[in-house]
Copies of this chain bind each other. A is one copy, B any other.
Amino acid sequence: MKITNHIIKLKTAATLDFIDITEKVKEKIKETGITNGVINIQSLHTTMAIIVNEAEPLLISDMKTLLEKLAPRTFKYAHDNFEIRTVNMCDGECANGHAHNKAIHLPTSALLNISSHNLQLGQWQRVFAVELDRSRPRQIALQIMGR
C-alpha cells in the first residue's frame, strides 16, 4: 500500500477559466507506479472547484452562463460590503462573494478510481479545475493511494 501527495500549480487566466488537468493528473499517477487504487483531487481554495465533465468548448460556455445565473456577479453580497465586514480581510481584498456562492454548488474535490495503471474515466469524462474568482496562482493537491 502506497500513499503519495502531490501539488499541481496553476496560474488561472480569468473568472470562470476551465482548466483541463486530466493529462497532468494521469502523469502523476504514472509516476507513482500504482496499479489499483484511488486518487483524490482536491482544490486548496474556497473559490476554485474540481469538476468532471466533457471538454466541449460550447458546453463550457453554457456552464459559465448557468453558473453566472446561479450566483450572479451583480447580486449584492454582504461578503463584499467592506464597510461592515471585519473578518478575514486581506490587503487588496476584492469583491468575490459571487465566487464563493458558485463554489458551494460545485465539488471541492473529485475522488476517482485508478484501475490498470490509469485513471478510470468514461469516454467523455475530463477533469477540470474551475476558477470562480479572478486570475490567480492556484494549487491542487493530489492524494494517490493504492498498490
**Which positions in A face B, CB cutoff 8 Å?**
1, 3, 5, 36-38, 40, 42-46, 51-59, 61-63, 66-67, 70-71, 75, 77-79, 81, 84-85, 87-88, 97, 100-101, 103-115, 120-122, 124-125, 139, 141, 143, 145-147
If A3-B36, A53-B104, A112-B109 touch, does A88 touch B124 (CB 8 Å cutoff)? Answer: yes
| Sample of 16 A–B contacts (CB below 8 Å) | A37-B145, A38-B145, A44-B121, A45-B125, A56-B87, A58-B79, A58-B81, A58-B84, A59-B79, A62-B79, A62-B100, A66-B70, A66-B104, A104-B106, A107-B107, A115-B143
Pairwise interchain contact A143-B79, C-beta atoms closer than 8 A: no
Pairwise interchain contact B109-A85, C-beta atoms closer than 8 A: no
